[in-house]
Structure 1
Amino acid sequence: MTRTKLGILLMIATTFVFAVQDGISRHLASEYNVLMVVMIRYWFFAAFVIAIAARREGSIRAAARTDQPLLQTFRGLLLAAEICVMVLAFTRLGLVESLVIFSCYPLLIAALSGPILGEQVGWRRWAAIAVGFVGILIILQPGRGVFSPNAIIPLTSALMFALYGLLTRYAARRDTTATSFFWTGTTGAVAMTAIGLFYWEPMTGPDWIWMAILCVTGASGHWLLIKTYELAEASAVQPFAYFQLVFGSAIGVTVFGETITANIAIGAAIVVGAGLFTLIRARQAAPRDGQAPDR
């Protein structure tokens, strides 16, 4: 129980670090090309991933060893693309609305787990999924219009992240966590470098400092997440991942002057409630199921 409590505290700390990362990404992507910002972030992330994977597997060659390279490559490319889409959403919608819409990804994982992983989803979870998407419809009705193109961006990111999470669980049937982690960082870094270099822009001194902080928060956030899952079962700590929505919204309001309208607050409450219900049901059905990955 003590380890679980510590794991919960670490998960909350992790969500705070990731929320800070989102805020810095919003600032930098508002000033520079999104692809360049994500590319530099991936350089540091790849170095961190290689170091962690090599330490756990004994060598880089051992960490990279897999008999499903196409799946691992696709996972890495998918996550890199998802991060680009989400950072773009921050610049178009802001942190609050983007994170609220993105928070539906556990519902998407539950909905897609049947066709992709062959898992059974009972009627209670299907009901929670339906209720959650009612919350999304409420969120997508601000004064700017229903289903505006900008509102679709974080929803697309949530769908991509849900697919990434399911593919990660599928890959875990034959590969270790360290191997999947290695492929995630390296394939993403290679892809972003191949694209991002064409969008290079000179950065100011202060923004290079922000970029350095962004890289550090990315690595430290994933390090905290690893420690969290070493201490406690994923099913016990995963519900606390919603604190990222709380911290991110606070940064959006206090730093960027965003507002939380009534439809966003109501929709967020419905989506989070439905998501927590699906997590609880999943925990009851498979108390030792693998953890869902985090951004």
Structure 2
Amino acid sequence: MSEHDAGQSRRRADNVAMGIGLSVLAIIIFGVQDAVSKSLVQTHSPFQIAMVRFWAFAAFSLWLVSRQAPLRLAFRSRFPVLQVARAVLLVIDIWAFAMALRTVPLAELQAVVLVYPLLATLMAIPILGERVGVFRLLAVAVGFAGALVIVRPGGLPIDGGVLFALLSAATYALYIALTRKVSAVDSTATSMVYAGVGGLVLTTAVGVFFWTPFEGEALWQMAFMTVSSTAAHGLMTVALARAPASTLQPFNYLALPWGIFLSYQFFGHLIDPVALVGGAVIVGAGLVVMARERHLSRAGRNTAPSVAEEETPPH
């Protein structure tokens, strides 16, 4: 290997290492944000909280895209209906996750919503026309079995909170599949603008009817969530520019142990050992699916990475 090639190899390795580090930092911030949000949703409407968050997210998206090209170009889409649908799904995901936070312990909630990559794998069949073999279908089934372990008799009560958690995972998985579809013809900037502006319009149209003033500790909590959400998305954006999404995706599963720690530190809740096993099964199944996708991609049997490998954490 020449000195020039060796230098390029070291730079690529340095970039990947930086991408992983930034991704992990973003996941840490997202986890703290979820813990703060769990406290905030006890006193304020999830619709109001989502609205304020999207104000910040939309501003960040527009600023980021405007630095690269005129905004009017970013609004040009070959799939405008699907882009709007993506925005609606993302909003429903955030609403449902916030509703689940009200009653479901943070650790168990993180475990349940981690089924989203498995759901995305199934949704890729009708939406993207992908062929999913028996091996991956079996891994998906095992992952769902892990979710059933968490909500087993004597585990999490099958109430609105658990249903909202499952709705959050399902809508985010569908959002991922649609994102994969539109990315074939639309730029990342277009997808960001539609998600930010579309979410801003929808959450504001609903959130204004649930407005109550933020006072005292709630004001500081909302301020932290706004700043941390923007910072975490920014970190993840830079991370994805430094390292492939398929390299970063497995680190998203750090959300589970981090969620367990935060659940204990903030709320004194320690995850049930059997629920922990269920969460580990979900994580294991997701990693198996990703490994299988990567193997098929390298073998030349897939033309693109799996939808389960292309997205950042949903919250």
TM-score (norm. length: structure 1): 0.95
Residue from 6, 25, 30 that aligns with 2:18: 6
Residue from 215, 218, 230 that aligns with 2:229: 218
Correspondences of 1:38-77 after superposition (within 5 Å): 38-56=50-68, 58-77=69-88
Which residue of structure 1 lines up, in the alignment, with residue 40 of structure 2?
28
For each residue in 1:109-166, what CA deviation from the matched residue of structure 2 results, as whole angstroms up to 9, or x when unmatched? 1111111111111111111011111111100115266644432221111011000000
CA contact (8 A) 1:165 1:293 kept: no
Q: Distance in 2 between matches of 1:146 and 1:256?
A: 19
Give the secondary-structure state (helix, strand or coil) at the position aligned to 1:30. coil
Which residue of structure 2 lines up, in the alignment, with residue 134 of structure 1?
145
Q: Distance in 2 between matches of 1:286 and 1:145?
A: 38
Q: CA deviation at 1:42?
A: 0.9
Give the secondary-structure state (helix, strand or coil) at the position aligned to 2:67. helix
Correspondences of 1:108-123 after superposition (within 5 Å): 108-123=119-134
**Structure 1, 141-150 or 212-221: larger mean CA deviation:** 141-150
CA contact (8 A) 1:53 1:63 kept: yes
Q: CA deviation at 1:67?
A: 2.6
Q: Which amino acid aligns with 1:177?
A: T
CA contact (8 A) 2:38 2:98 kept: yes
For each residue in 1:71-94, what CA deviation from the matched residue of structure 2 results, as whole angstroms up to 9, or x when unmatched? 111100110111010011111112
For each residue in 1:166-216, what CA deviation from the matched residue of structure 2 results, as whole angstroms up to 9, or x when unmatched? 000111011001110111011001111011000111221332121111011
Structure 2 CA distance for partners of 1:146 and 1:90, relative to 1, 3 Å: closer
**Aligned residues, how many?**
294
In structure 2, runs of 5+ residues without a counterpart are 1-12, 299-303
Q: Distance in 1 between matches of 2:142 and 2:226?
A: 37
Residue from 211, 221, 228 that aligns with 2:239: 228
TM-score (norm. length: structure 2): 0.89
Residue from 14, 24, 29 that aligns with 1:17: 29
Instruction: Report the aligned-residue RMSD.
Output: 1.5
Give the secondary-structure state (helix, strand or coil) at the position aligned to 2:271. coil
Q: Distance in 2 between matches of 1:7 and 1:75?
A: 26
Which residue of structure 2 lines up, in the alignment, with residue 100 of structure 1?
111
1:291 aligns with 2:302: no
1:201 aligns with 2:218: no
Q: CA deviation at 1:101?
A: 0.3
Percentage identity across aligned positions?
A: 35
In structure 1, runs of 5+ residues without a counterpart are none
Runs of 4+ in structure 1 over 3 Å off? 144-149
Q: Which amino acid aligns with 1:4?
A: V
**Larger Rg over CA atoms:** 2
Give the secondary-structure state (helix, strand or coil) at the position aligned to 1:40. helix
